[in-house]
Homo-oligomer: A and B are copies of this chain.
Amino acid sequence: MIIILKKDAQAESIRRLEDALKAKGISANHIEGEHQNIIGLVGDTSVIDVENVLAQDCVESVRRVQEPYKKANRKFHPDDTAVPVRNRTIGDGSLQVIAGPCSVESEEQIITTAIACKEAGATMIRGGAFKPRTSPYSFQGLEGEGIKLLVKARAETGLPIVTEIMSIADLDLFADVDVIQVGARNMQNFKLLKALGECDKPILLKRGLANTLEELLMSAEYIMAGGNMNVILCERGIRTFETMTRNTLDISAVPLLKQKSHLPICVDPSHATGIVSLIEPMSLAAVACGADALEIEVHNDPKSALSDGGQQLTPAKFAEVMKKVRSLAEYFGRTVG
């Protein structure tokens, strides 16, 4: 960490700051510049509160040098993390494809869709039981009942199930789920992250729509700090000024997160674009740049869907997409499954 001092910094204030740093085991190196004096800190600077340094009279600004995340940092864990999910693994070089409807709506709907997804080649089933909806007047999900229907879909297909949690209070209902998803709106619901850090299930952590990659890694750190190392990062589009797509898929996040972290990366082209015709090209792009998994919305009858009808694929269209995705994965020497 580098501290840039004010032009008129008092020696007394600087001394006090250095004493406080020394008490934390950090030593300070002075560099006297032409226009500015700076202090370079040596030691484990992750224990320092930047805001606290900024509050000192003598300090103009602070530049961080080290990343603030440790357990999620590839520097300290060079090997890829492979997350076991029942009879599958995410992050071991295979390509996993999580497919299913936006919302679980009925037994018939989820079972029919899950079977169709499996036949097309999906390796896990998704479905929303708790639905975060912008409007209080929209369908809010079947909740606990939805999870039970997902479990039936797993029994029918043998595929692991993935579903989103919205509140710690519901955690018990997820006991029989294979992967717990944290949605974009909850990426910084720190209480929830902490609770998930103490459970033993893999967590699919979606990037918030206005969150930086560093913040995503800090949220993974919250979960990992509690002891749960099975975190899968998910890029699902960020909010920008562009309005033609629902969000902007930040595809460079895939290789960049792989450089910065050892955790596996999933891409969700359905939420990133909100446009059915973009799901195939974005899935191919994600595979080409190294994503470990895809999450794609599929509905047995999108025209009757109770949520997100406009971005869900029909099983027939999904089968077409899967054919191309599987072929491309194989071109790269990877297996779907």
Q: Compute how far the CA of A254 lies from the CA of B47 in the bound complex, rounded to whole angstroms.
A: 35
A222–B65 contact, CB under 8 A? no
- Are the C-beta atoms of B303 and A56 separated by less than 8 Å? yes
In the bound complex, CA of A141 to CA of B289 (Å)? 34
User: What is the size, in residues, of chain A's interface with B at 8 Å between Cβ atoms?
Assistant: 111
From B168, B212, B222, B304, A244 is in contact (CB under 8 Å) with: B212
Give bound CA distance, A290 to B284, whole Å: 10
**What 1/0 mask marks residues of chain A from 237 to 254 whose CB sits below 8 Å from any chain B CB?**
011111111001111101
Question: Is A54 a contact partner of B212 (Cβ separation < 8 A)?
Answer: no
Segment with Cβ contacts to B, from A85-93, A148-156, A172-180, A183-191: A183-191
Q: Count this chain's copies in the assembly.
A: 4
Closest Cβ of chain B to A325, distance in Å, is: 10
A255 within 8 A of B: yes
Question: Are B168 and A167 in touch, CB under 8 angstroms?
Answer: yes
Say which residue of B133, B244, B259 sits within 8 Å of A214 (CB atoms).
B244
Q: Which of A57-86 contact B (CB under 8 A)?
A: 57, 63, 65-66, 68, 75
Q: How far is the CA of A190 from the CA of B241 in the complex (A)?
A: 21
| Cross-chain contact B55 with A303 (CB below 8 angstroms) | yes
A18 at the interface (CB under 8 A from B): no
Complexed CA–CA distance, A191 and B170 (Å): 11
- Residues of B near A42 (CB, < 8 A) are 31-34
Assess the B46–A137 pair: CB atoms within 8 A: yes
In whole angstroms, how far apart are the Cα atoms of A132 and B52 in the complex? 17
Whether A51 and B328, one on each chain, are in contact in the complex, defined by CB atoms closer than 8 angstroms, is no
- How far apart are the CA atoms of A109 and B179 in the complex, in Å? 44
| A46 CB → nearest B CB, Å | 6
Cα distance, A242 to B235, chains bound together (Å): 13
| Bound-state Cα–Cα, A238 to B51, Å | 20
A239 near B242: Cβ-Cβ < 8 Å: no
Chain B, Cβ-Cβ closest to A35: B66
Which residues from chain B contact A255 at a C-beta distance below 8 Å? 277-278, 281-282
Which residues of the other chain, B, contact A167 by a CB distance below 8 angstroms?
A: 167-168, 189, 191-192
A152: min CB distance to chain B, Å = 25
Q: Cβ of A263: which chain B residues have Cβ within 8 Å of it? A: none
Chain B residue numbers with a CB within 8 Å of A234 are none
- Quick one: which of A41, A133, A140, A284 has the most chain B CB within 10 A? A284
* Interface residues of A, Cβ cutoff 8 Å to B: 2, 4, 7, 29, 31-36, 38, 40-44, 46-47, 49-57, 63, 65-66, 68, 75, 130, 132-140, 166-169, 185-186, 188-194, 208-210, 212-215, 218, 221-222, 225-226, 238-245, 248-252, 254-256, 259, 272-273, 275, 277-278, 281-282, 284-290, 302-312, 328, 331
Question: What 9 A-B pairs come out closest when comparing CB atoms?
Answer: A210-B210, A55-B309, A54-B310, A288-B288, A281-B289, A31-B40, A285-B285, A255-B281, A284-B288
Known pairs A31-B31, A55-B305, A240-B240; list 10 more (Cβ under 8 Å). Answer: A4-B65, A29-B40, A34-B42, A54-B310, A68-B135, A136-B190, A210-B241, A244-B256, A252-B272, A256-B275
